[in-house]
């Protein structure tokens, strides 16, 4: 569970204050405050168009916030570019799986290791290929894909490709991991397996944010839930409490007429 005590920029793994994002005259995010504490798995939910993906893109630096501040482990990264945030400890996956399909499963991971290196070109020169492959195999083992290491990434089943993307996101040893709809398109067995593997990441990843629509998946996995609607945070708290919140029921889950 998340650590006790008040959440501040200093002791939070991630702290957002007043995050706002405009696209022309459209307000996609409107003054979002959010903290993720070390040891916590946070669910970020909301209806389509609520601003979830925009918020993830602002956090990771793909979009620049129109206003507000972002702190990663107490460090202000609000104006840092995306590659710098990644090297400071942000990892992420995407709604649309992004793999190097012409490479083998194991070859996909060292590429991500180099991308997260503080000096990637020097890393290519001085870091041994065997060392990178050893790290890659360890991550594949964690993802349940060690037996597929030599196969083409293009040959993976959908759920396996999702797990490979998560393995790639762990290559930089992130302090914060953002998983964007990791269970999308999975069957019940794959979803259950994925939840167990994400839960096991607590041992290696200080803080995790899961953006997802599958409430059954989130209920047994996450410590806390935050809900966005029309770019504003409308609820934040323990999962069961948030799911009973009338504003959440109306905005996200729907109400019976």
Task: Please give the pLDDT value at position 98.
Answer: 84
pLDDT (average), residues 74-80: 97
The answer to whether position 110 is within a domain reads yes
pLDDT single digits (tens) 60-76: 999 999 999 999 999 99
Lowest-confidence region among 2-6, 216-220, 244-248: 2-6
The answer to whether position 51 is within a domain reads yes
The answer to whether position 158 is within a domain reads yes
The answer to whether position 29 is within a domain reads yes
The answer to whether position 169 is within a domain reads yes
Tell me the pLDDT band of 108, cut-offs 50, 70 and 90. Answer: very high
pLDDT single digits (tens) 238-247: 999 999 999 9
Q: State yes or no: pLDDT of 201 exceeds 80.
A: yes
Q: State yes or no: pLDDT of 221 exceeds 70.
A: yes
Q: State yes or no: pLDDT of 9 exceeds 70.
A: no
34 φ/ψ angles, rounded to the nearest 5 degrees: -160, 140
Angle at 196 between CA 191 and CA 199, to 5 degrees: 120
Containing structural domain, residue 81: 14-253
CATH number at residue 23: 3.40.50.300
The answer to whether position 3 is within a domain reads no
Count up the domains in the chain and report the number. Answer: 1
Q: State yes or no: pLDDT of 81 exceeds 90.
A: yes
The answer to whether position 2 is within a domain reads no
pLDDT single digits (tens) 124-162: 444 556 788 888 999 999 999 999 999 999 999 999 999
The answer to whether position 6 is within a domain reads no
* Number of Cβ within a 10 Å radius of residue 128: 8
């Amino acid at each position: 569970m998340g650590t006790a005590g008040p959440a501040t920029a200093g002791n939070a793994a991630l702290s957002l204050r007043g995050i706002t994002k405009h696209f022309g005259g459209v307000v996609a995010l409107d003054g979002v405050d959010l903290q993720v504490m070390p040891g916590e798995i946070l669910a970020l939910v909301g209806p389509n168009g609520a601003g979830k993906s925009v918020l993830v893109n602002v956090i990771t630096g793909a979009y620049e916030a129109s206003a507000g501040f972002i702190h990663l482990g107490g460090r202000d990264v609000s104006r840092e570019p995306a590659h710098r945030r990644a090297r400071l400890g942000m990892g992420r996956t995407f709604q649309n799986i992004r793999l190097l399909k012409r490479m083998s499963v194991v070859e996909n991971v060292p590429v991500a290791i180099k991308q997260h290196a503080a000096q990637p070109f020097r890393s290519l020169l001085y870091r041994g290929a065997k060392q990178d492959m050893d790290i890659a195999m360890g991550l594949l083992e964690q993802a349940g894909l060690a037996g597929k290491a030599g196969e083409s990434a293009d040959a993976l089943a959908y759920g396996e490709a999702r797990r490979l993307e998560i393995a790639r996101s762990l290559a930089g040893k992130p302090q914060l991991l953002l998983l964007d709809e990791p269970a999308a398109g999975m069957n019940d067995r794959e979803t259950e397996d994925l939840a167990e593997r994400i839960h096991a990441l607590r041992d290696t990843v200080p803080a995790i944010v899961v953006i997802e629509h599958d409430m059954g998946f989130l209920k047994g996995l996450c410590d806390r839930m935050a809900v966005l609607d029309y770019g504003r945070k409308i609820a934040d708290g323990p999962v069961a409490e948030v799911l009973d919140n009338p504003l959440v029921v109306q905005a996200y889950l729907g109400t019976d007429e």
